[in-house]
A and B are shown apart, each in its own frame.
Chain A
Amino acid sequence: MTAAFVAGADASSEVPLKRRLKRAERTRRLKALALILPLLLFLLFTFLGPIAGMLWRSVDDWEVRQVMPHTVAALADWDGKDVPGEPAFAALAGDIRTARDAGTVAIASKRLNYALNGFRTIMSGTARNLKALPEPGTAKDTLIGINPAWGERATWAAIKSASGPLTSFYLLGALDLTRNVDGAIVAAPEEQAIYRDVFGRTFTISLGVTVLCLILGFPVAYMLATLPTGQSNVLMIFVLLPFWTSLLVRTCAWIVVLQSEGIVNDSLRWIGLIDEPLRLIYNRFGVYVAMTHVLLPFMILPLYSSMRSISPAYMRAAASLGASPVTAFLRIYLPQTVPGIGAGSLLVFILAIGYYITPALVGGAADQMISYFIAFYTTETVNWGLASALGAVLLLATLLLAVVYGKLVHGQQVTGGMKN
């Protein structure tokens, strides 16, 4: 690195200029890299690493493999057509005894319960009642004697399906799909198929909030961008104040404003417009109101910065050439704000699909977004496979949208007829 400096002036005549330039260039690049290295490492460990871990968890199927290795091995070449033979039962009895002594039965039964509801009871009951290893040749009768479920094909198919090492179970589940006893992919039972609806709801609400923010934010941003600096700075404070207020505070404020004995309902009653309070909260309406308010600054700020750079001369030129105000706005002004609209919309939309606190507090049971379910499975039932799979689907959908956005916005950029 320091060779160039140590070499001194007389050596410089021997080393060609090109190479010295290259060396200096490389030194500069390394220095620049060293400067952002902390950030790169930080991102790697706190962002990319965890995301990779999450994606891995959505396909990792270790529980049954680890707790019941002999059973998994015995089922490796089972065709799934009939209840397996004595060796599989003997392996299972051995595994259950070992797991019971190690206290790991619950780990396997939790995973098996996802595959077949009721498996937890089968496992814990069998572990409790299997007092000793069955005599050779009697394992099948012993186990079926303890619980008839061991004599059913579906029970064994569940173990086989959860044998790992990788599984599509959670990802399919996140899309309302499942595998039947024969391993074919089929739709999940009707009363449990909710995730497509929830994803749909999440995107619908986010899109609605984005559109509302755009409708409300555009005129505000225009005013801020066109007023004299002094006045626009005062107004800017009004935009930024809520931006700086805690999300929780703003959400709870909406509860106070919108509840049935809240400010809005009381005023309407006082005027005499209504007799019964309107239902403005704990439903979809409340979610739209609160989320739009919370996310509005994220729309206004990018719009404002893109409008600031638009010269008023363009509009004057359009007017002098005979364009009506509407035409001038639509054909001259609006296209120049597209980058701002795009950036603001994308920002609001992506923030909205991950929202948790606001819909949880002001929404009803039918307004919970995907984040609610991810949180539920992460903390309450510790079903991390499904939580990760839901997260993975959300991540994929977000990435796709970002790509589509890129295509749309950059495909339309007004470059004055010159593509660079």
Chain B
Amino acid sequence: MSKLKVAVGFLATFTAGVALATAAQARDLTVVSWGGAYQEAQKKVYFEPFKKAGTPMNDESWDGGVGVLRAKVQGGAATWDVVQVESEELAIGCEEGLFETMEFNRIGGEQAYLPQTVDACGVGAIVYDFVLGYDKDKIKDAPKSWADFFDTTKFPGKRGLRQGAKTTLEIALMADGVAPKDVYKVLGTEEGLERAFKKLDTIKNDIVWWKAGAQPPQLLASGEVAMTSVYNGRIDAANKAEKKNFGMVWNGALYTIDSWVILKGSPNKEAAYKFLDFVGKAENQAKLSENIAYGTSNKDAPSKLAPAVLTDLPTAPDNMKNAVEISVPFWLENLDRLTERFNKWAAK
């Protein structure tokens, strides 16, 4: 998800100023999400039914960026109430005090949600993965793990990886035999880093680096790469919309969570909790997964789904078994340093 933080930040400050001059004190609940096909699905299964149930609300979309939220909250014109944020925005915004503390007793209690989706400042909205994607029409003998991804003798062809240190280093370590649960422990050491880069060296000349989420399915479709790391939703979309025959390997998948937060000082807190309670219910979340291949946060949501739908979701028990969560604290601390290091390695 690309972020024009600066432009958006400026715009947000500007609109916040305008809004300050014109805002009516009593406004309806405003919910903000990521736009595109995802928000369409949310409209259908969350927003419209919620409105019908009797609470007026509006929805807007945004492109992310803590700077935007900061402008909204500190500008004193919070025109948004409930916002869906990525994991790093959740962490930084929570540290900066931009969000209300999440009162789980008002949205069904902590025990209703997967433990990874419970946070002091927010509640999980969706779970999505980086998986190993390949073209079933070209590779008959399905790869089973990241180790196969690095095996260019058994599976000839180029490999697609996301450009940068994040996700690439984790994948390299898992390919080298590190268990998913130990990935960040190993990556936190100098030897672990060396090990990851050494593993990457073995296929360095066969890697095609992608930058945007839309690229990996194209790389697969054009035959440029035999396998690639890819967002699971994109594989699903390519199979549904373009009649492709792509496969996914959930073993060693890297997952991350987007969360709902309530902006600090929201005048619509009552309605906001009502909304979060509504979208936190298992039966409503199940409807979202039927429309778009994302996992959700309620523990009981998977049990309400048809088995065929469930097998392709990040939150299916089998798919979660060997998955690792992309570590926010690790990358907040190390992204700049490891980006420099990654580029040093790439230029060698």
What 1/0 flags go to A142-176 for Cβ under 8 Å of B? Answer: 00000000000000000000000000000000000
The answer to whether B96 and A378 touch across the interface, beta carbons within 8 angstroms, is no
Docked complex Cα distance between A103 and B92 (Å) = 10
The answer to whether B223 and A261 touch across the interface, beta carbons within 8 angstroms, is yes
What 1/0 flags go to B1-36 for Cβ under 8 Å of A? Answer: 011111000000000000000000000000000000
Using known A-B contacts A364-B209, A380-B3, determine if residue A192 contacts B347 with beta carbons closer than 8 Å.
Answer: no
Docked complex Cα distance between A120 and B209 (Å) = 30
A260: CB under 8 A from chain B?
yes
Residue of B nearest to A118 (CB): B333
Complex partner residue of B95 from A103, A113, A376, CB under 8 angstroms: A103
Residue of B nearest to A114 (CB): B336
The answer to whether B333 and A365 touch across the interface, beta carbons within 8 angstroms, is no
Q: Please indicate the chain B residues that have their CB under 8 angstroms from the CB of A192 in the complex.
A: 337, 340-341, 344
Query: How many residues from B make CB contacts under 8 Å with A?
Result: 38
What 1/0 flags go to A360-375 for Cβ under 8 Å of B? Answer: 1100111010000100
Q: Which of A193-201, A204-212, A218-226, A347-355 contacts B (4 or more CB under 8 A)?
A: A193-201
Using known A-B contacts A106-B95, A193-B344, A197-B347, determine if residue A379 contacts B333 with beta carbons closer than 8 Å.
Answer: no
B153: CB under 8 A from chain A?
no
The answer to whether B96 and A191 touch across the interface, beta carbons within 8 angstroms, is no
Those of B207-230 within 8 Å (CB) of chain A: 207-209, 211, 222-224
B322: CB under 8 A from chain A?
no
Docked complex Cα distance between A103 and B222 (Å) = 49
Using known A-B contacts A360-B211, A364-B209, A366-B346, determine if residue A121 contacts B333 with beta carbons closer than 8 Å.
Answer: yes
Docked complex Cα distance between A386 and B340 (Å) = 12
B319: CB under 8 A from chain A?
no
A259: CB under 8 A from chain B?
yes
Q: Please indicate the chain B residues that have their CB under 8 angstroms from the CB of A366 in the complex.
A: 346-348
Complex partner residue of B6 from A120, A373, A379, CB under 8 angstroms: A379
Docked complex Cα distance between A114 and B337 (Å) = 8
Docked complex Cα distance between A365 and B162 (Å) = 10
The answer to whether A117 and B337 touch across the interface, beta carbons within 8 angstroms, is yes
Shortest CB-to-CB span from B235 to chain A, Å, is 20
A249: CB under 8 A from chain B?
no
B55: CB under 8 A from chain A?
no
Q: Please indicate the chain A residues that have their CB under 8 angstroms from the CB of B332 in the complex.
A: 120
The answer to whether B333 and A102 touch across the interface, beta carbons within 8 angstroms, is no
Using known A-B contacts A197-B347, A260-B223, determine if residue A361 contacts B333 with beta carbons closer than 8 Å.
Answer: no
Q: State the main secondary structure of chain B at its contact with A.
A: helix
The answer to whether B95 and A260 touch across the interface, beta carbons within 8 angstroms, is no
Q: Please indicate the chain B residues that have their CB under 8 angstroms from the CB of A201 in the complex.
A: 347
Q: Please indicate the chain A residues that have their CB under 8 angstroms from the CB of B58 in the complex.
A: none
The answer to whether A194 and B66 touch across the interface, beta carbons within 8 angstroms, is no
What 1/0 flags go to A99-114 for Cβ under 8 Å of B? Answer: 0001111110000011
B163: CB under 8 A from chain A?
yes
B97: CB under 8 A from chain A?
yes
Complex partner residue of A120 from B4, B224, B333, CB under 8 angstroms: B333
Shortest CB-to-CB span from A387 to chain B, Å, is 10
Using known A-B contacts A118-B333, A282-B209, determine if residue A106 contacts B6 with beta carbons closer than 8 Å.
Answer: no
The answer to whether B336 and A383 touch across the interface, beta carbons within 8 angstroms, is yes
The answer to whether A194 and B335 touch across the interface, beta carbons within 8 angstroms, is no
The answer to whether A117 and B96 touch across the interface, beta carbons within 8 angstroms, is no
Complex partner residue of B97 from A102, A190, A373, A378, CB under 8 angstroms: A102
Q: Please indicate the chain B residues that have their CB under 8 angstroms from the CB of A102 in the complex.
A: 97
The answer to whether A381 and B336 touch across the interface, beta carbons within 8 angstroms, is yes
Q: Please indicate the chain A residues that have their CB under 8 angstroms from the CB of B2 in the complex.
A: 379
Residue of B nearest to A121 (CB): B333
Q: Please indicate the chain B residues that have their CB under 8 angstroms from the CB of A194 in the complex.
A: 340, 343-344, 347
A43: CB under 8 A from chain B?
no
Using known A-B contacts A104-B96, A382-B5, determine if residue A113 contacts B340 with beta carbons closer than 8 Å.
Answer: no
Shortest CB-to-CB span from B225 to chain A, Å, is 9
Using known A-B contacts A103-B97, A106-B96, A124-B95, determine if residue A117 contacts B333 with beta carbons closer than 8 Å.
Answer: yes
Docked complex Cα distance between A194 and B334 (Å) = 16
Q: Please indicate the chain B residues that have their CB under 8 angstroms from the CB of A107 in the complex.
A: 96
Docked complex Cα distance between A197 and B344 (Å) = 9
Docked complex Cα distance between A364 and B163 (Å) = 9
Shortest CB-to-CB span from B217 to chain A, Å, is 14
The answer to whether B344 and A105 touch across the interface, beta carbons within 8 angstroms, is no
Q: Please indicate the chain A residues that have their CB under 8 angstroms from the CB of B339 in the complex.
A: 376, 381
The answer to whether B97 and A259 touch across the interface, beta carbons within 8 angstroms, is no
B67: CB under 8 A from chain A?
yes
State the 6 A-B residue pairs at the shortest beta-carbon distance, nearest first.
Answer: A103-B97, A106-B95, A365-B346, A192-B340, A261-B223, A120-B333
A-B contact sample (6 more), CB < 8 A, given A192-B337, A365-B163: A114-B336, A120-B333, A194-B340, A282-B208, A364-B208, A383-B336
* B residues neighboring A (CB under 8 Å): 2-6, 65-67, 92, 95-98, 158, 163, 207-209, 211, 222-224, 329, 332-337, 339-344, 346-348
Can you offer 26 A-B residue contacts whose CB atoms are under 8 A? A102-B97, A103-B95, A104-B96, A106-B92, A117-B337, A120-B329, A120-B333, A124-B95, A192-B337, A192-B340, A192-B341, A259-B222, A260-B223, A260-B224, A261-B222, A261-B223, A262-B222, A364-B208, A366-B347, A368-B163, A368-B343, A379-B4, A379-B65, A380-B335, A381-B339, A382-B5
